Amino acid sequence: MSLPENPFDYEVALQNCTRGDRQALHGLYQREGGRLLAVALRIVGDRALAEDIVHDAFLRIWTQAASFDAQRGSARGWMFTITRHLALNHIRSNARLRGLNEDDLQSLFTDEAADAALGSARIDGCLEQLEPQRRQCLYHAYLDGYTHAEIAQRLETPLGTVKAWIKRSLASLRECMG
pLDDT tens digits, residue range 4-16?
556 889 999 999 9
Asked if residue 48 and residue 79 are part of one domain, the reply reads: yes
- Can you list the alpha helix ranges (DSSP code H) found in 109-158? 112-118, 121-128, 132-142, 148-155
Residue 137 has pLDDT above 50, yes or no: yes
Long-range contacts of 94-100 (CB under 8 A, 24+ apart): 95/144
Which whole-number Å values give the CA distances from 66 to 23, 25, 53, 62, 84, in the listed order?
16, 13, 21, 9, 19
Residue percentage of the chain with pLDDT more than 90: 34
**What's at 35, amino acid-wise?**
R
Q: What is the mean pLDDT of residues 149-176?
A: 88
Residue 178 has pLDDT above 80, yes or no: no
What is the total count of domains within the chain? 2
* Full residue range of the structural domain in which residue 140 is found: 100-177
pLDDT reported for residue 109: 45
Q: Are 124 and 115 in contact (CB under 8 A)?
A: yes
Asked if residue 110 and residue 85 are part of one domain, the reply reads: no
Domain boundary at 97, 130, 156, which?
A: 97
Q: What is the mean pLDDT of residues 27-32?
A: 94
pLDDT reported for residue 145: 67
Q: For the domain that residue 22 is a member of, what is the CATH number?
A: 1.10.1740.10
Q: What is the mean pLDDT of residues 59-87?
A: 90
Buried b (16+ CB within 10 A) or exposed e, 143-164: bbbbebeebbebbeeeeeebee
Sign (positive/negative) of CA torsion 92, 94, 99, 103? negative
pLDDT reported for residue 94: 73
Residue 103: phi and psi, rounded to 5, are -65, -40
pLDDT reported for residue 100: 46
